[in-house]
Amino acid sequence: MAIVRNIAASLLLALTAFSSAAQDRPVAAALDFPNRPVRIVVPFPPGGPLDIMTRVYAQRLGEEWKQPVVIENRAGGNSALGAQQVARASPDGYTLLVAMDTTLVMNPLTVPNLSYDVQKDFVLISLMAQNPALLVVPAGGAKNVAELIALAKAQPGKLSYGAGVLPTRLAGYFFNKLAGVDAVFVPYKGSAEVVQGLLTGSIEYAFDGVAPYLPLIERQQVRALAKLNSNPLPQLPMLRPLSEVTQLTALGDFSVWSGLAAPSGTPSAVVERLQRSIAQASTDPAIRDRLGQMGIYAVSSTPHEFKNFVTAETAKWGKVIEESGFKLN
């Protein structure tokens, strides 16, 4: 019996040691994270506000981590292709997603049979940026919002407008509906295509993020008629909110936000490390200044705050979409 007890005790010690080692592995991995290149998937084409913002952060993160941070643009499906790719990646923190309102809120509300599940497939790490948006026309287009509305009403179904992400598309939908405008929507994959649509005259107006347009406005290649929220925009201090210019107060405030997500199952210690890095980068004066020059606000949050924010945004936009009759065609 003594031999049996000794064997049992030895097995218990071995199992305890194995369990302890298994529990320590994620912690050790986090302490060593990252020890190889980190890939960040941007679910939109290069050149847009999301891509620009991510590359600014990536440079800072690479310097902190002393590892390359590789940006991979995976456009398509209103960010669904990139999101699906990350959802299926190994949950080790080395493949991350820059997710935006389109990815985490608008797609789940408007896309049937979506290829990913926000609740099940991702762990939310931190908000990263708030990007104000504009109503923009070509340089030779309408001189103000009232003129644009009048032109559209004089030619029902003739004017075209564009947008690259669902929030700005939704802004255009509401603007047209509340202003009594009948215009043709032209979908684009991202801001770079929207810009080309304006410059080539393929569309008469667009709703899009600020960043790509500031140099074009300065060179008088496009004209901003209004901003889509009431936040200060130092580069365009005289620009007024669209809801104020039109007196269509039901338009409310629109802004495009983005944050960092990882595949579900990513160790909590790795998530905490990533969150700390984003928080530090978002308060770096150089980062804030560089993004601020493009009209982008650097922000951060805890994972819990990010999750609550997404829940609140989903409730808000779910009600708006239901009451407006908006359909994703």
CATH number at residue 45: 3.40.190.150
Q: Alpha-carbon distance 290 to 286, whole Å?
A: 6
Domain count, the chain: 2
Domain C-terminal end among 234, 251, 268: 251
For the segment 176-232, what is each residue's pLDDT rounded down to a tens digit?
A: 988 999 999 998 888 889 999 999 999 999 999 888 899 999 999 999 999 988 888
Q: Quick one: what percent of the chain has pLDDT higher than 70?
A: 89
pLDDT band at 4, cuts 50/70/90? Answer: very low
Q: What is the residue-averaged pLDDT of the chain?
A: 88
pLDDT band at 248, cuts 50/70/90? Answer: confident
Average pLDDT over residues 286-299: 91
Task: Among 65-69, 71-75, 251-255, 259-263, name the one with the lowest average pLDDT.
Answer: 251-255
pLDDT at residue 270 is higher than 80: yes
Q: What are phi and psi of 111, to 5 degrees?
A: -105, 115
Average pLDDT over residues 273-290: 96
pLDDT for residue 20:
47
Tell whether 317 is covered by a domain. Answer: yes
Tell whether 153 is covered by a domain. Answer: yes
Average pLDDT over residues 96-101: 96
Tell whether 169 is covered by a domain. Answer: yes
Residues 46 and 192 in one domain: no
pLDDT band at 29, cuts 50/70/90? Answer: low
Kindly report the CATH number assigned to the domain that includes residue 236.
Answer: 3.40.190.10
Tell whether 329 is covered by a domain. Answer: no
Average pLDDT over residues 151-177: 90
The amino acid that residue 223 corresponds to is R
State which residues form the domain around 111: 30-130+257-324
- 142 or 7, greater pLDDT: 142
Average pLDDT over residues 147-169: 92
pLDDT band at 24, cuts 50/70/90? Answer: very low
Tell whether 20 is covered by a domain. Answer: no
- 30 or 59, greater pLDDT: 59
pLDDT at residue 123 is higher than 70: yes
Q: Quick one: what percent of the chain has pLDDT higher than 90?
A: 62
